[in-house]
Structure 1
Amino acid sequence: MTRCLAFVLSLACWLAAGPSHAQSAPADDAARARAVVEDLMRIPGPDGVQETWRQRINGLDHWISMRGQDRANPAILFVHGGPATPTIPSLWQFQRPLEEYFTMVNYDQRGAGKTWREDHSDAIADTVRIQTYVEDLVAIAEHVRARLGKRKLVLMAHSWGTIPAMHAAQARPDLFHAYVGIGQVINVRENERISIEYGLAEATRRGDADAVREIQALLPYPGTTPLTRERIVAARKWPQQYGGMAAYRDATNLWFYGAARLSPDYDAEDRAALNAGSLFTLERVLDEFVEVDFSGVREFPIPVVMFMGRHDYTTPSQPTADWLDAVQAPFKRGVWFERSAHMAPWEEPGKTLVSLLEVVRPLVRE
């Protein structure tokens, strides 16, 4: 993978600077590539906002990014997945068009990325619980609302981030115009069951005997055996290999996992923190995570919109569609992304923008 990434970086710089640059050192190539991305992402207009700052939130310094072409636009607070997979180092891949119509706010959560670097002491480790992430999110929403002079924000979350976001929307509906879930978690155990069933069916269809044997060795899954990190990784191996993370792609997904190498917002130490933060958080929150179940929530206090990848077998979309059919809310809408799996904003950025404008923007009442 390292050799492939070096090739991609060299190719990106060759295309940007011309063939004469192709012989430059790899480090220079990476720096030049980041400079190209940085210039592309620059917001020069007088009404725009482009800020990244450290803010004390709920006893911990969090890193926050705010970007948009016009401060007067509605603001979206985006809660990243993982745990500890920040969006800031990959937002350059999909977010720029959204910034023309919304002020986009991202933050590195407790134990993730730049925030992990600020503090990953034992004291912080003891606070890595779902309720703490909910409290962090509410405090950040209040801080961003005051900073922008907004009455409310749109709350949007991806994957793991949908868990604290759902709780925050229920606890503090006064802060949010609407909730947008992407790769929504409804019931973790049901997700795991659907995912491995897809993996086995697809392996059988393809005649992949090795995959069939590996999957059958894990059954019954999730069953009554505790869901450890090792079991989850093993169970998701083949569903993701068959496109359950990004549609029609295998599990390598170099385009996403290598995004931080081109991000102007992340330096080498920040990039190193990505894996460290993942290990730091997952082992501490896993027991709570596997018991998450929103299927009993039958009333939701604010408008709710779900962006659902048709091919998502990481957090399968059918439980989300079923929940949406049953829930009572001031407004509800499901949007199917037919060419996406789990990574809809990255896989279908155009549809993400159009859906936000057509479905979510009318829900904003300033």
Structure 2
Amino acid sequence: MSKLKTWLRLGAVGVAAVSIAVVGGAAATRGFLQHQTAERLRIDAKDGIQEAGFVKLPSGEQWVVVRGENVDNPVLLVVHGGGVPTSLFAEDFKSWEKDFTVVHWDRRDHGKSLARAGGKIDPNQGVDSFVTDGIALAEHLKGRLHKPRIALLGWSWGSRVSLTMAQKRPDLFSVYVGTGQAVDNDARDRHVYDHMLAVAKTGKHPELLAKLTAFGPPPYDPPSRWKEIDALEPVYLKTEGPKKTEGQIYRQALAMPDWSLKDLITHKDAGRIIRRQRSLAVYKANQFWKAAPLGQDFVLPMVIIQGEYDHPDFVRPWFDGLRAPGKELVILPNTGHAAIQMQSVRFGQALHDHVLPLARAWEYGRPADTPTAPPVVKPVE
């Protein structure tokens, strides 16, 4: 019996040793990959800027990353979409740093900001609260980077926040840029449903027709049921061009410096945390947000960069109704809702061509030769 106990003890020690070796090896590998990413992200330019840290905003301390090759360039504040804090994938946006000082902001319910708050979300925090945080951050950036105005980019869910920021405080911004632009969730859901139904009725996808007919058209109660329909679109239709696999995204996230495993786990779990800790009333208020109450008059240039597969025909009527000193709708071929990340170099070229000149011209306010009446601008196809 004593020999058996000895062997059991030795076996337990062996298992523990192997476990420690595996964990230690994984940690060492991750550390090496993080070092490699840090080297690729390093900015050596004499007039460059590379900063990251927490900034105290009205709803709490929030993670902000500032990167650029020349501090004299215009500042571009990125308001990320739901579930994708762009700071975690800063390497994707490196090509933008030649033209802009790019600012990545983890909103209070995402990324390192959520981890900093212990994974807890204020159930009453909605769009207006994020707008307040965003305006405070813009004011902070103006002072920190010595800029009278900054460019503002909103992606998907973040475009609700950024568009409201642009309307409330146009004095802070040189140009508004939207991608995956939110306009009216209910109307867009019906638009996508009708689009899928039309494709299904061609006879190419009888199984899709059966599923859509069984569901019926939106709106649904609860609204979250829409996700079951939304999940059908990429199965039967083009919704993105070339894109990364989930494995590539996870590997990229694991190799990101400044992000602990706790940060990453909190980020991965953010969707569940939001659903659990936020009340249904707040969820509905966010879900049913519409651009119309903001009005059609904006006193700064408006640029919408939309993926070809991201239903630009839905955004166009809202865009056509805008009255602004300059506006442009840019369509990126062969890409979709995630064009900003999945086709980041091409997206950066669109920023260079269509946004950078406006950001420079409007950095100190309306240029003297800017017409007061909005020009008729044809979309770039």
Structure 1 residues 205 and 262: CA distance shift in structure 2, 3 A: farther
**1:235 Cα deviation from its structure 2 partner:** 1.4
**1:266 Cα deviation from its structure 2 partner:** 2.1
**1:346 Cα deviation from its structure 2 partner:** 2.3
| Residue in 1 that maps onto 2:161 | 164
Instruction: Describe the SS at the equivalent of 1:125.
Output: coil
**Counterparts of residues 318-329 of structure 1 (less than 5 Å):** 318-329=313-324
* Structure-1 separation of matches of 2:302 and 2:59: 30
| Residue in 2 that maps onto 1:11 | none
**1:72 Cα deviation from its structure 2 partner:** 1.1
| Residue in 2 that maps onto 1:10 | none
**1:78 Cα deviation from its structure 2 partner:** 0.3
* Structure-1 separation of matches of 2:344 and 2:203: 30
**1:201 Cα deviation from its structure 2 partner:** 4.0
1:64-114, Cα deviation, whole Å (9 max, x unpaired): 0000111111100000000x4311112212x11111111000111011111
Structure 1 residues 44 and 327: CA distance shift in structure 2, 3 A: same
**Counterparts of residues 1-366 of structure 1 (less than 5 Å):** 27-82=27-82, 84-93=83-92, 95-119=93-117, 124-203=121-200, 207-222=204-219, 225-229=220-224, 231-242=225-236, 245-247=239-241, 253-256=246-249, 259-282=252-275, 283-284=278-279, 285-295=282-292, 297-312=295-310, 316-363=311-358, 364=360, 365-366=363-364
Structure 1 residues 59 and 138: CA distance shift in structure 2, 3 A: same
* Structure-2 separation of matches of 1:169 and 1:188: 20
Structure 1 residues 121 and 232: CA distance shift in structure 2, 3 A: same
* Structure-1 separation of matches of 2:94 and 2:339: 15
Instruction: Describe the SS at the equivalent of 1:32.
Output: helix
- Could you list the runs of 5+ residues in structure 2 that have no partner in the other structure? 1-23, 365-381
Structure 1 residues 62 and 299: CA distance shift in structure 2, 3 A: same
Structure 1 residues 121 and 337: CA distance shift in structure 2, 3 A: closer
Residue type matched to 1:149 in 2? H
**1:360 Cα deviation from its structure 2 partner:** 1.2
Residue type matched to 1:237 in 2? A
* Structure-1 separation of matches of 2:269 and 2:239: 22
Residue type matched to 2:40 in 1? L
Instruction: Describe the SS at the equivalent of 2:298.
Output: coil
**1:212 Cα deviation from its structure 2 partner:** 3.3
Instruction: Describe the SS at the equivalent of 2:124.
Output: coil
Normalised by the length of structure 1, the TM-score is 0.83
Residues 191, 314 of structure 2: 8 Å contact kept: no
1:13-32, Cα deviation, whole Å (9 max, x unpaired): xxxxxxxxxxx955544443
Residue type matched to 1:101 in 2? D
**1:119 Cα deviation from its structure 2 partner:** 1.6
* Structure-2 separation of matches of 1:320 and 1:61: 34
Residues 66, 106 of structure 1: 8 Å contact kept: yes
Residue type matched to 1:341 in 2? G
* Structure-2 separation of matches of 1:68 and 1:26: 32
Instruction: Describe the SS at the equivalent of 1:40.
Output: helix
Residues 307, 337 of structure 2: 8 Å contact kept: yes
* Structure-1 separation of matches of 2:251 and 2:218: 31
Supply the RMSD in Å over aligned alpha carbons: 2.5
**1:253 Cα deviation from its structure 2 partner:** 4.8
Residue type matched to 1:300 in 2? F
* Structure-2 separation of matches of 1:88 and 1:199: 34
Percent of matched pairs sharing the same residue: 26
* Structure-2 separation of matches of 1:346 and 1:65: 17
* Structure-2 separation of matches of 1:218 and 1:159: 25
* Structure-2 separation of matches of 1:317 and 1:110: 29
Computing the radius of gyration from Cα coordinates, the structure with the larger value is 2
Residue type matched to 1:119 in 2? A
1:324-362, Cα deviation, whole Å (9 max, x unpaired): 112110110010001210011223333322222221112
- Could you list the runs of 5+ residues in structure 1 that have no partner in the other structure? 1-23
Structure 1 residues 248 and 194: CA distance shift in structure 2, 3 A: farther
* Structure-2 separation of matches of 1:241 and 1:259: 25
**1:305 Cα deviation from its structure 2 partner:** 0.1
Residues 77, 152 of structure 2: 8 Å contact kept: yes
Deviates more, 1:170-179 or 1:42-51: 42-51
Structure 1 residues 349 and 249: CA distance shift in structure 2, 3 A: closer
Residues 142, 148 of structure 2: 8 Å contact kept: yes
